[in-house]
Amino acid sequence: MIAVLIAGSVSMIFSLFGTRWLIAIFDSLGKGQPILGSEDHGPVHHMKKQGTATMGGIAIIFAAFIGWLVAHLRGGIALSDQAMIMWAGVGVLSLMGFLDDFLKVRKSHNRGILWKKKGYITFAIVLGLMWWLMAGTGISETLSFTRSDFPGWNLSPVLWVVWTAVMVWATTNAVNVTDGLDGLAAGSALFGFLAFTVIAYWGFRNPDVYNLVNPLDLAVFSAAMAGACGGFLWWNAAPARIFMGDVGALGIGAALGLLAVATNTHMLLPLICALNVMEAGSVALQMGVFKASGRKKRLFKMSPIHHHFELLGWPETTVIIRFWILSGICVAVAVGLFIADFTNIADNFAGR
């Protein structure tokens, strides 16, 4: 438990000061986040945010990695192959996001040259990452809800790689879509990482039930990401001094998806990341209705759905706080289901 607390606190401190440093750099350069205008059907009501410092995700990822490393200095916890593969995946996807952010800032337009191909490139990367995770560790290859043997359907290696790649890839995109209001993505991700910290640590304390690969290291990984999101949120809360950018959204999304794979909570992920599912789903519904109507009708005033509520007259802070509440409730339900399943196992073992 001490290693988990060290990871969370150290990463929060580094994220807090690292984010402030990034703000100073962007302010001195006079460069910042471009906003899509009316010609791109973007959120014109956010044009006042144009020029706000961006790429704050750099501080999140580096701070989390430092917190994770420092937690291992105390001893008693191994640098697991699984966690290092996960860090490699987070790093590569964050780099993809950084390249896109850099191009956006350089061109002063909110679309990098990779924006049409980014989805295909990231999916190919995630496919390779999941194969590496399967081949390089003893991770369970079953379809799971709260543990590997529930429902415990065995998947072929190819099907497992494809299934988990879709999970991780979809989560990265969903977090990216959510990152449209000040603090919305970072706050909801903080809830998710706290949930995975509890789940992984619970697995560490009950190895016979969950049979996880290095669960304590997973708990430290998750706590480090939670702390880094918390430190960043200090500066990203409305009115934001800095945005996380794609470098943060893709890295955070990858970490959440990978934690679901590593903790055997595949089908619990949509509940832990329910806000991200809602945000990405609203975009899919909007596009579906628009195309089905011959490009004449829209389901929402604007998608993602947080912009819809803004255009209904809700202040941005109201949308953010209410969405945080919804996210917190869903995460609490997910953790409750996880603990309830464990309680059921314990009751059956005790013969009750």
pLDDT 10s digits, 292-310:
888 888 888 888 999 899 9
Query: What single-letter amino acid sits at 47?
Result: M
Arithmetic mean of pLDDT over the chain? 89
Q: Where are the domains positioned within the chain?
A: 2-270
From the CB of residue 135, how many other CB atoms can be counted at a distance below 10 Å? 11
Which has the closest alpha carbon to 215: 130, 137, 327? 137
pLDDT above 90 (res 95) = yes
pLDDT 10s digits, 104-162:
887 766 565 555 677 888 999 999 999 999 998 989 999 999 998 888 899 999 999 99
Prediction pTM value:
0.93
Give just the sign of the alpha carbon dihedral 2, 168, 319, 235: positive
Determine phi and psi for 150, rounding to 5 degrees.
Answer: -140, 105
Integer Cα distance of 8 and 58 in angstroms: 17
pLDDT 10s digits, 257-290:
999 999 999 999 999 999 999 999 999 999 999 8
